[in-house]
Amino acid sequence: MGEIRTVTTLRSKREEIIASIKLYEDRIKQARADLSHIAASIKIFEASGETGDMPRYVDVYRLYRRGEQMALCKEALATGPKSTREMALHVMEAKGLDTGDNVL
């Protein structure tokens, strides 16, 4: 004996709803990404140029002249071997950056 038509119809409807939910979740994910990009763009255009107004993730290479980071690292290594954390702290201190900032 075959399946009841009601069960078959309900299963079909279930698959349709699952597909719809997946589509809506993908759209929400894209909308969140778009919103994030718009918010970041607004912050860029509203920035005053003060270091305190910098976003959390900044291209730090713009803070250094060409070869300056390498020179600071060589200077730090001249006193002996150092870990990468110690090297980073030395470079940050040399530029007057906040060494307590975990993001940097």
pLDDT tens digits, one per residue of 20-48? 999 999 999 999 999 999 988 887 787 77
Contact 53, 47 (CB under 8 A): yes
Q: Is it the case that residue 7 has pLDDT exceeding 80?
A: yes
- Tokens standing for 36? 């994030």
The 10 Å Cβ neighbour count of residue 91 is 23
SS3 content of the chain, % helix, strand, coil (to 5): 70, 0, 30
Q: Are residues 49 and 67 located together in one domain of the fold?
A: no
The number of folded domains in the chain is: 2
Is there a domain that residue 102 lies in? Answer: no
Q: What is the pLDDT of residues 50-64, one digit of tens each?
A: 666 666 666 666 778
Same domain assignment for residues 21 and 72? no
Domain that holds residue 33: 1-57
* 31, two tokens: 């909308």
Q: Are residues 66 and 93 in the same domain?
A: yes
Do residue 78 and residue 93 come from a single domain?
yes
